[in-house]
Amino acid sequence: MSLNVLESSKVIVCLGTGGVGKTTAAAALGYMAAKAGRHVCVVTIDPAKRLADAMGIAEIANTPKKIQTSSELDLWAVMLDPNSTFDELVQKFATSEKQVEKIFHNSIYQNLTENLSGTQEYMAMEKLHELASDPRFDLLVVDTPPARNAIDFLNAPNRLIGFLENRFFRLLISPSQSVFRPVTFATRMLLRTISKVVSAQVVSDAVEFFQAFEGMEAGFKARASEVQNLLSQDSTSFVLVTGTHKDTVDEAIYFASKLDEFKLQVNLIISNRITPYFGDDFDTEQVLYPAGFRENLEYLTKLRSAELVQLSRLSVIASGDSHIVVPLLPHDIGSLSEIQEIGEVLVNSRSTYDNSVSP
Ligand SMILES: Nc1ncnc2c1ncn2[C@@H]1O[C@H](COP(=O)(O)OP(=O)(O)OP(=O)(O)O)[C@@H](O)[C@H]1O
Ligand SMILES: [Mg+2]
């Protein structure tokens, strides 16, 4: 195994914009690490159906399942359910069963993962925190949801805490000191005014929501800083997955700059789905090829060259030997052997990279 991140990491986080191949990369990296003898769990979110089937995790479950492989690898996977992860968290930090009930029945809470952007990202990090102390695994490969931007993912814990600490609602519910002034006259007037703008139900649900979470922010806060801490360990690696076209390369560079703001760095770049290299030793003068062959070959060669020009811009993020280029395969990735196929490219990438970038 020649891929550094697979040898040295305890956690690998796969990042990238929508559809670039994060889930595929996470599965392939996990597979190859397990093949090299590591005890791996792939934490994935919303994988394509065939991939989920291949990994045997078609059902959402919050506990890891061992993947059935012919070679008995110690490879596990879990398809994260952000809602029930959040439920578990509430149960952990709530001070009473009554508080749990109150939160579970609140309409704002029930729609929280849709209402509060970044919740899915936060829950992925939360699950990571939990699995990091699971003795069955020595490597966790985390797939992330298609974040609209890097901040969503990295800021998720802070955003959630900020939300729970919302000063405006804190004011409305008058926090713990409220023994002395449960709901003041001024607060009642304020509530009445707001209720004219948004529905009274929304306001009372919101007030109830923040009331229900009363006293839990400390637990969430401590947890979030533990998660941040885990992310900044040397044994945590960030794999940035990109496409080969200008827009995804732009996004990858932006992503890396955001990671940098959080003092995190990209350990590996995987540029997925490059037009394959078809070779250049076709003697079209001497050999009779089918009509259009030369034009098609020229077209594909040009396409690939243009893609390589884009990918060379990624050298500002990582050096050549931590940049892997994966060819576009003529099929979807939806079986263990196809995951392995991508994995082999990743692990034996040197030659791929060499002939990709300096043909
Ligand atoms: N190298 C490749 N060649 C051919 N198909 C690929 C390759 N890599 C990924 N795919 C296919 O592309 C699709 C998207 O891949 P994947 O689901 O891994 O992306 P993602 O970044 O996780 O997407 P999302 O942001 O929606 O979670 C899948 O159908 C997958 O099988
Ligand atoms: Mg995905």
Task: Express each pLDDT in 268-280 by its tens digit.
Answer: 999 999 999 887 7
* Phi, psi for residue 290 in degrees, rounded to 5: -60, 160
Mutate to test the pocket of ligand 1, among 24, 42, 344 (most ligand atoms within 8 A of CB): 24
Mean pLDDT of the chain: 81
Mutate to test the pocket of ligand 1, among 332, 341, 342, 356 (most ligand atoms within 8 A of CB): 332
pLDDT the model gives residue 60: 61
Query: Using a 6 Å cutoff on CB, does residue 20 contact ligand 1?
Result: yes
Query: Using a 6 Å cutoff on CB, does residue 352 contact ligand 1?
Result: no
Closest CA to 128 of 83, 85, 189, 161: 85
Q: Is the pLDDT of residue 145 over 80?
A: no
The residue-averaged pLDDT of 239-254 equals 94
The residue ranking higher by pLDDT, 328 or 189, is: 328
Which atom of ligand 1 is least distant from the CA of 16?
21
Q: What distances in angstroms separate CA 159 from CA 19, 152, 166, 234, 259, one per listed residue?
A: 25, 9, 10, 24, 16
Please give the distance, rounded to the nearest whole angstrom, from the Cα atom of residue 65 to the centre of ligand 2.
18
The residue ranking higher by pLDDT, 268 or 143, is: 268
Query: Using a 6 Å cutoff on CB, does residue 354 contact ligand 1?
Result: no
Q: Is the pLDDT of residue 99 over 90?
A: no
**Residue 13 CA to its chain's centroid (Å):** 7
Mutate to test the pocket of ligand 1, among 23, 329, 337, 349 (most ligand atoms within 8 A of CB): 23
Which atom of ligand 1 is least distant from the CA of 241?
21
Q: How confident is the model at residue 177 (pLDDT cuts 50, 70, 90)?
A: very low
The residue ranking higher by pLDDT, 103 or 137, is: 137
Q: What distances in angstroms separate CA 232 from CA 11, 42, 94, 237, 266, one per listed residue?
A: 11, 19, 28, 9, 12
pLDDT the model gives residue 113: 64
Q: What is the CATH number of domain 4-82+122-155+227-357?
A: 3.40.50.300
Protein residue closest via CA to atom 6 of ligand 1: 332
Number of other CB atoms surrounding residue 130 within 10 Å: 16
Please give the distance, rounded to the nearest whole angstrom, from the Cα atom of residue 9 to the centre of ligand 2.
21
Please give the distance, rounded to the nearest whole angstrom, from the Cα atom of residue 343 to the centre of ligand 1.
14
Which atom of ligand 1 is least distant from the CA of 327?
1
- Concatenate the DSSP letters of all residues of 261-317 into one string: HTT--EEEEEEEEEPPP--S---TTTS-PPTTHHHHHHHHHHHHHHHHHHHHGGGGT
The answer to whether 130 and 31 are in contact (CB under 8 A) is no
Q: Quick one: what percent of the chain has pLDDT higher than 90?
A: 34
Which atom of ligand 1 is least distant from the CA of 24?
18
Note the helical H segments in 198-264: 200-212, 217-231, 246-261
Which atom of ligand 1 is least distant from the CA of 143?
22
Q: What are the structure tokens assigned to 257, written together?
A: 């700059």
Q: What is the pLDDT of residues 345-356, one digit of tens each?
A: 999 875 444 444
- Closest ligand by atom to 21 CA: 1
Q: Where are the domains of the chain?
A: 4-82+122-155+227-357, 94-114+158-220
Q: What are the structure tokens assigned to 213, written together?
A: 């979470």
pLDDT the model gives residue 7: 92
Q: Is the pLDDT of residue 170 over 70?
A: no
The answer to whether 272 and 323 are in contact (CB under 8 A) is no
Residue 92: half-sphere exposure toward Cβ, Cα within 13 Å: 14
Q: What distances in angstroms separate CA 279 from CA 179, 328, 338, one per listed residue?
A: 78, 16, 23
